Structure 1
Amino acid sequence: MRIETADVQVRPGTEGDLAALTDIYNHYVRETVITFDTEPFTAGQRRPWLLSYPKDGPHRLLVAQDRGGCVVGYATSSPFRPKPAYATSVEVTAYCAPDASGRGIGSLLYTALFEALAGEDLHRAYAAIALPNEASVRLHHRFGFSHVGTYREVGRKFGRYLDVAHYEKHLDGKPADAHRGTTG
C-alpha cells in the first residue's frame, strides 16, 4: 500500500527506516511530554519494536517519506493489551519529525493507516494523548475519535505531573450501543 501527495508518500516501514524513526522518537523523548519515555533509545534498542510490525494484519507501521527520501513521520497500530480478548482493539499513534509538524503529515499517515486497517477484524482504535497537546487532540477528533476519559496526573516528566486523555474510534461502522449486551 502506498499513498502519495505531491511531496510525501506513505508506505510500510522497513528495517532501513530504523535510524530515522529512532531519531524522530528520541526528539519527543528528550524535548516533550508527548511520550512518557524519559531516556533516548539507540537504534539497536528500537529494533525489536520495529520488527514487531508485519507488513499486513492489524498491527502496522507506516512511514511518511518526502521526495528526497527522508522519513518525516510514522504511524502505528499496536496491540491494545496483551490478553486475547483485546485482539479486536488497537492503540494508534502518529509522530512527525519536528520540522515536518503542521504540514498535514499526521493526517496523511492516519488516512493510510485507517485504510489499511479497514479489512481487518478490528472493532475499536484507542489513543492516549499526554496533555497538553492540542495538535494531537485536533487530529484525533478529525478522524472520528471521541474523548472517553482523562487520567489526572498519571505521569511525571520534567518535574511536573501530567494528565493523559483517552480517545476511542469505532472501526466496524456499528454504533457502540449495538454491541452492548443487556444483563438482567
Structure 2
Amino acid sequence: MPVPADIRPADVGDAAAVADVYRPWVTGSVASFETVPPDADEMARRMTAQPRLPWFVACRDGAVVGYAYGGQHRTRAAYRWSVDCSVYLAAGERGAGTGRALYERLLPELRDLGHVTAFAGIALPNPASVGLHTALGFTPVGVYRAAGFKAGRWHDVGWWQLPLREPPAEPAEPAAWSPGAPARPPEGLR
C-alpha cells in the first residue's frame, strides 16, 4: 500500500501544477468535456472565482499529484447552497486512495461553509469515478443522454448527489472560503 499523499489547501501558487495534472484529462480522455487545456492563469482565475469555494491539492514528495474542488452548481441565487465537486489525479495516483483522501478533506469543508448538497457529474462510462463517488455516499440521481460530443462521439453524463447536512428551514448564507483558514459555519450552524 503506497504512503498516503499529503492533502492541503490549494492556492494560486499551485495553479501551474494543477493545470499539469488536469491536461491529460482534457487531451486524452472524455472525463472532461473541455477540449483545450486551461493554462495556469485560467486555473488561478477558477481558484479565486467568486463565490470562493475550496480547492485542495494532494502532494507527494513536494509535487502536486491530484486536486479536488467545489464549484458553483448553477448561477441562480436559489442554488447557492448546492455545489458541484470534482477530483482529478495524476496517472500514478489512480487507485492509491488519493481521490478519497481529497474528497474526505473537501466534503466536510463544503458542509462547514454552509452548503447543503454536493453534486458530481461523471461522463459515462467511468467505473472508477462512479466507484469513488458511490463509496463516499453519493447516490445516482439521473443521466443526461448525449450531453457532450468529444473524441468523435456523443457521451452521456451521470449525476450523483450527496447530502452534506439536513436542509435548514431558513438557511444562512454560505460562508466564503479562504485557503488555510478553518471553515466557520454560518450563523445558525454553530
Structure 2 counterpart of 1:128, from 96, 121, 137: 121
**Partner residue of 1:63?**
57
Letter in 2 for 1:144: G
Asked if the contact 2:4–2:97 (Cα under 8 Å) also holds between the matched residues in 1, the reply is no
**What do residues 43-99 of structure 1 show as CA deviations (whole Å, max 9, x unaligned)?**
223221122278xx7x11011111x10101111111111111111100011001122
Q: TM-score, normalised by structure 1?
A: 0.85
**Partner residue of 1:83?**
76
Letter in 1 for 2:24: H
**Within 5 A, what are the aligned runs for 1:106-117?**
106-117=99-110
* 2:7 aligned with 1:10: yes
Shift in Å, 1:22: 0.3
| Residues in 2 aligned to 1:35 and 1:145: alpha-carbon distance in whole angstroms | 19
Shift in Å, 1:25: 1.0
Structure 2 counterpart of 1:34, from 31, 36, 42: 31
**Partner residue of 1:182?**
none
**Partner residue of 1:172?**
165
Asked if the contact 1:53–1:61 (Cα under 8 Å) also holds between the matched residues in 2, the reply is no
| Higher relative contact order (Cα pairs below 8 Å, separated by 6+ residues) | 2
| Residues in 2 aligned to 1:6 and 1:100: alpha-carbon distance in whole angstroms | 11
Which portions of structure 1, spanning 4 or more consecutive aligned residues, are displaced by more than 3 angstroms? none
**Partner residue of 2:130?**
137
**Partner residue of 1:153?**
146
| Residues in 1 aligned to 2:90 and 2:97: alpha-carbon distance in whole angstroms | 12
Stretches of structure 2 lacking an aligned partner (at least 5 in a row): 170-190
Shift in Å, 1:132: 1.0
Secondary structure of residue in 1 paired with 2:37: coil
Secondary structure of residue in 2 paired with 1:129: strand
**What do residues 10-41 of structure 1 show as CA deviations (whole Å, max 9, x unaligned)?**
11102221111001111100000000001122
The alignment of Structure 1 onto Structure 2 pairs a total of residues equal to: 168
Secondary structure of residue in 1 paired with 2:109: helix
Secondary structure of residue in 2 paired with 1:118: helix
Identity of aligned residues (%): 37
